Amino acid sequence: MLPAVIISDLLLTGIISGGLHLDRTAAFQFLISRPIVASVITGLALSEPAVGLGAGLVLELLWLGIHPLGTSVPPDDTVVAIVVPAGVILAGRSVEAIVLDEPTAVLALAILLALPLALLGKWIDIGLRKLNGRFLKAAREGAKDGDTKKVGRQIVKSIFAIFFAFTIFTVVGTYLLTIIIFVLYPKLGVNVLSALKLVYFTIPFFGVVGILDNLRDKKIFKFVAAFGATYLILILIGGVI
């Protein structure tokens, strides 16, 4: 049974995510959904702004060249930027050494574990865009008939669908990451922690590579290969293998 305070923090994290996801393409578009902002907002909401900033700096550099423009559906950097600091903070409330002793190491671990959420978030976004197509069709029918209330309802449905989908997705993702960090992190050895520290400071290089190389889908395998090779070398250097 989760403590009530953890449940409330999970819900708060989910609500933040739902609201910030509206900023990506559905509404506002003030760029507050960018990782550097989303992570800091999450950290502030959970009373650990330094953790939020530490996550946001790295994730912003990682996805510096990725923006949800037009019909493009990039990986969901916003959900990762929210889940990472939230997972670290919530796990750290049970194991204080997680944040106090090795902040860069645990942030690197959280980022590596949370990266798949970016792809899952992309699939959810695609599904929601298809759903919005139905709302759009109904709105056009309402506009054709002069039914402004029907048009308004479709807009509200679209906004709420995005908000609730990403609220639930983020709550589940944050909960799972919190549990994994809580269980896994205390068992990591000194060598692994040393490697994770290096990982934290090298993650931004992949964002730089993405910008310089102007990555397209056909080059994604080169990106994945570089990603895997870099961390394999770091693990070897750390003496884990």
Q: What is the pLDDT of residue 188?
A: 85
Highest mean pLDDT among 37-51, 70-84, 189-203: 37-51
Contact 60, 84 (CB under 8 A): no
Q: What is the pLDDT of residue 222?
A: 61
Residue 99 has pLDDT above 50, yes or no: yes
Report the sign of the C-alpha dihedral through residues 6, 8, 173, 41, in that order. Answer: negative
Query: Amino acid identity, residue 93?
Result: R
Cβ atoms within 10 A of the Cβ of 194, count?
Answer: 17
Rg (the chain; Cα; Å): 19
More confident residue, 13 or 152: 13
Write down the domain spans for the chain: 4-188
Q: What is the pLDDT of residue 194?
A: 86
Per-residue pLDDT reduced to its tens digit, 8-32:
999 999 999 999 999 887 777 788 8
> For residue 154, how far is the Cα from the chain centroid?
28
Residue 84 has pLDDT above 70, yes or no: yes
Per-residue pLDDT reduced to its tens digit, 33-42:
899 999 999 9
What residues have CB less than 8 Å from 213, skipping those under 6 apart?
Answer: 219, 222
Q: How far is CA 67 from CA 25, 34, 75, 89, in A?
A: 10, 9, 9, 27
Residue 221 has pLDDT above 80, yes or no: no
**Residue 56: HSE in the Cβ half-sphere, 13 Å Cα cutoff:** 21
Share of the chain above pLDDT 70, in %: 77
Model-level pTM? 0.81
Q: How far is CA 88 from CA 9, 101, 106, 108, in A?
A: 12, 13, 7, 10
Q: What is the pLDDT of residue 241?
A: 42
Q: What is the pLDDT of residue 69?
A: 61
Q: What is the mean pLDDT of the chain?
A: 82
CA distance 203 to 57: 10
Residue whose structure tokens are 């919190």:
178
Instruction: Kindly report each contact of residues 26-34 with a partner whose C-beta sits within 8 Å and lies 24 or more positions away, as own/partner.
Output: 26/158, 26/159, 26/162, 27/159, 33/78, 34/60, 34/77, 34/78, 34/81
CA distance 239 to 54: 26
More confident residue, 170 or 185: 170
| Residue 238 banded pLDDT, cuts 50, 70, 90 | low
